[in-house]
Structure 1
Amino acid sequence: MYVHSGEEENTTSYPALDQMTENLFNIWDNDSKESPMLTLASRILSDEQFYIIFLFVIYTSQLINNCAIIANSLNIAVFVKLGFSEPSNISLTALAVCDFTLAVLMTWSNLGFWLTYHNVRLPFHSVNVSYLTGGAQWAFLSTTVAWITAFISFERCLCILFPLKVRRLITPRGTFVAMLIIILLTFCPSFFTYITNTFVSVFNPYRNVTILDAIPIYSEFAILFEKIYIAICGVIQPLLAFSIVLICTVLLVVQLRKISSWRLSVTSAKSQRVQSEENPAASSSAAEARISKKEERLVRMVVAIATIFIASYTPTCIMILCSVVFDTFHLFGVYRRLFIVSGYIVSMGQPISGSVNILIYYKMASKFRSVFRRLVRLDHQE
């Protein structure tokens, strides 16, 4: 294991963890060993502290992922039974499918670290291979979730602001096409990872065998291409989606308050007729502002979903900004340990959001609640 420059070697032995650091993370290059800043950063989080925190985070992350897998499996089953005649069912189903897939990909990534920690002998490099076949896709799919949430929020925002015009445009077919476009633009670029990385057979000195490994491709084209698609898909896209969700959620909350105030001001049908006769323009404006109880419940549910997303995705956005501002805060930078631990901690936000959504649907959507209760046999009626 790497020993801090100018310090005595730690006599505590971590065989599996040594392998994880030296061989699997592959980030202890000779040029950085003498760096004073690296020594300072290592003191911030020592070897033993790093591994204790990292393993705790992985086990906690997997517990949350298990909840997300179960919750979104139920969400998908309920929405399939509800059908897709309503555009909102299509977008919410797409959101549930992506949340389910995110939890599965993170489970696969966690498994890679777990197998390495317990020194399980496999014919492939468990951390590197699981990252290239799961972790990288997870990063892109989290952006897909962000954009689907942005679409749902933006669509509800348009419906409540311009109800008479937008309802004609938002159809099940249009929503389905929108979901496909979002997936194509946000998740499909994850396969660009295989342009800048490749699978090779390498000799593992720890086991004295040749195994399958995943390594980056060091070429001018690969490096330039990686910088471009990471800047677009890893920085611009998630931050833009987060901004759209935030703005639309604020607008929805403001508009809901206006509608609630308007409903309180109209106490009878007689007062509505008087208002119409005295001020036709005000009546027309009120008619546009007025939405059905069903639509209002749907908007409130979307606000709840968006609020949970904002709370869970804010740490991710902060980490993205930090990695952009501080060039030493990344996987191969000086503060690599803090980056790894922070990345796993903020990644828990997505499965938490995906797990909580089912509670929002159950509480605020009567049809969902009815089908859910029949699905899990809480109601015995056919």
Structure 2
Amino acid sequence: MEQNLSTSLLEATTAMEARTATTSSFDFERDKPGLLSDELTKTLYVTNFVILNCLICCFGLVSNALNMAVYRKQGLREASNVSFFGLSVSDFCMLVFQLWMGVIEIPRLVTSSDLGVFLSELTYVIGRPQRSALVRTSVWITVFITLQRCACVVKPLKVKALFTLRRTRIFIVACALFFMLNSIPLYLGLDIGNKFIPKTNTSRLGVIKKAPTILSGTTVFTSMFFQLFSLCAIVLSNIVLLCAMRQRRYRLRHLVSGLSDQGAFEMSSRVGAEAAVPPADVAAFNRWKKDKKMNKMVLLLSSLQLVSFTPSAIAFMVSLLEPKITPTGRYKNVFDTVWGFVVVLEALNASINIVWYYSMSSRYKSTINEMFGWGTGPAARSGGGHGRKVGGRE
């Protein structure tokens, strides 16, 4: 009973990441027929995991490097800047490993007999565990950023005391270290050695599966727990932030309306709607408008993180509960195809943050424009204070 449980756990551990249908790693015998043909699976997998994945990763590496440069230029003396900088670093490193995994899955490299090594198998040691750890690190940094914005709305006077620069740095480093260390037991069930190939009467370097261990099972349960817990944390933090934004808008509308002798202070829930604001309330209106844009950007980032992370969590749970949907099960082709889409979705989520930063943060936009010399002509210089930082970070 215990041996069967350990074997199932090791299968689930292996199922945490997708692998190609064209390699001969981890020898297995699969009951046929499956739901998808081998030819269709190979086509979908190469299209998603090799072509789309590599293109998205290349774009993501450039965009995250640019994000790091922008927040570095703005200064890492603010907790919010450190959080976004840490998220960019985590996404950048994750994309490095994912690009490496996509490149070595190129069919010509996979089937080449001149290399003397199963390249795709080596990713089970260098690539897949690190990528998974960094994905979870990014999720928890996003949760931290969302909670930070909740505190800005609910307790604006105490946010600097709650989310200090030191605590922010410690949290980011601790998340990365924890998830990296949590993946170490995976190595205990694998070994690198020569594997004999009867068809060619040769041997190639590859990964050899050892007997299941208790630690490998612990890693599976820990990963499963933190996947589910992180999903719940994102949902709850988004709900709290939405409720806090509505409460603050209600209080601010009545406060400004009471202070003004010239009329009611009208605020439309429509994005970009302008209202007639008395001069005495311009500062309050600008502060509310800037906080609203920042909060909406954080909500968008966390929602996208939730959308991209949910499929992988579901796929992992299904692989854990159904042994046939694993790299060595009857529905191996379904497993490969689903994970081909999942990793592309996660890569896309880690790559497009620059779009939201640039379109929703005036401080980020002004910094990047300054770095590239955009908008520095005579018209821009005569435009007064447009694009400058006003008040706090936006």
- What band does the TM-score fall into relative to the shorter chain? 0.7 to 0.9
1:244 to partner: Cα distance: 0.3
Aligned to 1:243: 232
Alignment correspondent of 1:24: 24
Residues of 2 paired with 1:255 and 1:21: CA distance? 48
CA distance in 2, matches of 1:324, 1:118: 30
In the TM superposition, residue 205 of structure 1 has moved relative to its aligned partner by 4.9
- Give secondary structure in 1 for the equivalent of 2:77: coil
Q: Tell me which residue corresponds to 2:363.
A: 367
Map of 2:151 onto structure 1 = 158
**More helix, by proportion:** 1
| Aligned counterpart, 1:202 | 195
Q: Look up the match of 1:279.
A: none
1:83 and 2:67 aligned: no
Is the 8 Å Cα contact of residues 325 and 332 (structure 2) preserved in structure 1? yes
Question: Is the Cα–Cα contact under 8 Å of residues 67 and 85 in structure 2 kept in the other structure?
Answer: yes
Structure-2-length-normalised TM-score: 0.77
Residue in 1 that maps onto 2:45: 54
Residue pairs, 1:219-258, within 5 angstroms: 222-233=212-223, 235-258=224-247
Helix, strand or coil for the counterpart of 2:207? strand
Contact 2:357 2:364 in 1 (8 A): yes
Q: Does 1:74 align with 2:66?
A: yes
Q: Structure 1, residues 141-182: CA drift from partner, whole Å, max 9, x if none?
A: 211111111111122223322233343121111100111111
Whether the aligned pair in 2 keeps the contact of 1:71 and 1:354 (CA below 8 Å) is no
Q: Residue type matched to 2:181 in 1?
A: C
Distance 1:86 1:297 in 2: 18
CA distance in 2, matches of 1:27, 1:76: 43
One-letter identity of the residue aligned with 2:37: S
1:141 correspondence with 2:134: yes
- What aligned pairs does 1:343-382 form with structure 2 within 5 A after superposition? 343-380=339-376
Larger RCO (alpha carbons 8 Å, 6+ apart): 2
Match of 1:338 among 334, 339, 344: 334
Retained in 2: the 8 A contact 1:154–1:244? Answer: no
Pick closer, same or farther for the CA change 1:23–1:174 going to 2, 3 Å. Answer: closer
User: Is there any run of 5+ residues in structure 2 with no aligned partner, and where?
Assistant: 1-19, 262-285, 382-394
- Alpha-carbon displacement from aligned partner over 1:304-353 (angstroms, at most 9, x marks no partner): 21111112222122212322332322222221211111112111222211
User: Partners of 1:315 and 1:21 in 2: how far apart?
Assistant: 20
Q: Name the TM-score, length of structure 1 as normaliser.
A: 0.79
Count of residue correspondences = 335
Query: Does the CA contact (< 8 Å) of 2:95 and 2:347 recur in 1?
Result: yes
Provide the rounded CA distance (Å) in 1 between the counterparts of 2:23 and 2:300: 44
What is the alpha-carbon distance in structure 2 between the residues aligned to residue 49 and residue 246 of structure 1? 36
Q: Which of 171, 193, 196 matches 2:186? A: 193
SS at match of 2:206: strand
Q: Is the 8 Å Cα contact of residues 64 and 92 (structure 2) preserved in structure 1?
A: yes
Shift of 1:45: 0.5
User: Separation in 1 of the partners of 2:32 and 2:94?
Assistant: 35
